[in-house]
Amino acid sequence: MNTTLGTVLIIDDIPLNISLLAAMLRNAGYQVISALSGREGRLLALKEQPDIILLDITMPGEDGITTCRILKADPRTTDIPVIFISAVDSIDIKVSGFTNGAVDFVTKPFERAEVIARVALHLKLRDRYVAAVRKEHTILDKLQSAQHGMLVKPDDMPDAAFAVSYRAVHAAGGDFYDVCRMKDDSFAYFIADISGHDLDVSFNTSAIKALFHQAVQGNNSSTDIVCSINRGIIPLFYCNGMHMTASFINLDRSAGMATLVNAGHLPVIHLSVDGSATLLEAEGDILGVFEELVLHPLTTQVKKGDRLFIYTDGLVEQNSESMDRMEGISKLTTLCQETAYLPLVTAVSTICSRSFPADVVPGDDIILLGVEV
């Protein structure tokens, strides 16, 4: 069975140049395809997906610089290495070529050893890049599975009567939520938005979960629980310039009371059983920055059938150029009211799907957590 070292696409308006390069490359073990213009070459690159492209700069009509720029702008061809071939050896041309996405230059007249060496080098670099990307995707997939695995599901705690929708922009998100029983008919609901979306943020969510459960199980007050979480994350966050906003709700269904501690987070939507909606706003410092927090908890009465909605800013800032945060909150509140007749699980999923249809990619992580009293 014949095997090749890879497929090389040559784009040059001079047939003789194509013939010379093709002979060199075929003798070295490469498969060669060719095109006589930039547009033809782009179409061929889309169809055949070559491993590397040799592209002439000076061509009539669409020159090589333009062709390269269009290839790099298309996600279907952006990762194909492009080596420019040119009789022009000026610094300005080279700078323009590199600026528009080329990885190297080969100057005419062609030297066989140079052509083969440069093609082999950039194919090797591409292979290493592809391998690194695959490895990163594998790591992120595992991290995503681990992160989602530690998030409590409504079926895990039916007595907590909550529903949640979580959509991360990246494989592993920077938003986090948790639910925990405090005592008898009292439950703690926690949602946080950690600055950034890199791997460090995702690794920190496991630490936050542990801190949350430890603080809740200590039978502390709502304010003490949030302060305890803050003390635990400062060593993780402060040196990296990170911070976290959060909302904590202690809901005591038997007493008909909900206590909100808000650490720089968005207001909670309180949807009364009669359909009216109120924003619960409690002031408080963000977490991970200050050793001593200033928090102003808010306690409100709730009735059976009331709903509380906690969320992260990705849900209300999806169109930052045309809609400010308060307009986004207003629209979210309206959606909560319009879906009040639906079961909580259906209401939460409907609210999120109306805010972000499946074909719309959000600009930030999204969490909507609904609680029914």
Q: Is the pLDDT of residue 373 over 90?
A: yes
- From the CB of residue 16, how many other CB atoms can be counted at a distance below 10 Å? 8
Of the pLDDT bands very low, low, confident and very high (cuts 50, 70, 90), residue 363 is: low
What is the structure's pLDDT at 24?
93
CATH 3.40.50.2300 applies to domain 7-138: yes
Burial of 189 per CB tally in 10 Å (0-12, 13-18, 19+): buried
140-144 mean pLDDT:
53
Q: Are strands 82-86 and 104-107 parallel, antiparallel or unpaired?
A: parallel
Least confident residue range of 83-92, 160-169, 201-210: 201-210
- Separation between Cα atoms, residue 215 and residue 89, nearest integer Å: 67
Residue 329 three-state SS: helix
> Residue 176 pLDDT > 90, yes or no?
no
Higher pLDDT, 268 or 360: 268
Mean pLDDT of the chain: 86
Confirm if 236 and 207 have CB atoms less than 8 A apart. Answer: yes
> 3-class SS at 57?
coil
Mapping DSSP to helix (H, G, I), strand (E, B) and coil, where does residue 106 land? Answer: strand
Could you tell me which residue, 358 or 355, shows the higher pLDDT?
A: 355
Task: Please provide the size of the chain in residues.
Answer: 373
Separation CA 189–CA 363 (nearest Å): 25
Name residue, tokens 């391998």: 131
Lowest pLDDT segment from 33-37, 120-124, 158-162: 120-124
Closest of 234, 284, 237 to residue 260, by C-alpha: 284
| pLDDT at 322 (0 to 100) | 46
Mean pLDDT of 202-209: 71
User: In the predicted model, is pLDDT for residue 238 greater than 50?
Assistant: yes
Structure confidence at residue 38 (pLDDT): 93
Q: 370 forms bridges with which residues in the sheet?
A: 163, 309
Q: Does domain 150-372 have CATH number 3.30.2270.10?
A: no
Half-sphere exposure of 310 (CA within 13 A, CB side): 31
90-114 tens-digit pLDDT = 788 888 888 898 999 888 888 899 9
pLDDT over 70 (residue 245): yes
Q: Tell me if 7-138 shares its fold with 150-372.
A: no
> What pLDDT score was predicted for residue 196?
57
| Cβ–Cβ < 8 Å for 48, 26 | no
- The alpha carbon of residue 265 and the mean position of all alpha carbons in its chain are separated, in whole angstroms, by 21
Q: Is the pTM of this model over 0.85?
A: no
Q: Give mean pLDDT, residues 293-301.
A: 95
d(CA 256, CA 308): 13
**CA–CA distance, 42 with 55 (Å, rounded to integer):** 10
Does the pLDDT value for residue 160 go beyond 80?
yes
pLDDT, tens only, 19-66: 999 999 999 999 999 999 999 999 999 999 999 999 999 899 899 999
Higher pLDDT, 318 or 330: 330
**What value does the mean pLDDT take over residues 197-220?**
71
Nearest to 350 by CA among 309, 321, 317, 312: 309
Beta bridge partners of 287: 244
Q: Give the integer Cα–Cα distance in Å for 200 and 177.
A: 17
Residue 86 phi, psi (nearest 5): -160, 150
Q: Where are the alpha helices (H) located in 195-258, listed in sequence order?
A: 199-217, 222-237
Contact present, 70 and 46 (Cβ < 8 Å): no
The model's pLDDT over 246-289, given as tens digits with 9 standing for 90+, comes to 999 999 999 999 999 999 999 999 999 999 999 999 999 999 88
Return the pLDDT at 1: 42
Domain-by-domain residue ranges, the chain?
Answer: 7-138, 150-372
Q: Which has the minimum average pLDDT: 54-58, 108-112, 215-219, 317-321?
A: 317-321
Judged by phi (left if over 0) then psi (alpha if -120 to 50, else beta), residue 29 lies in left
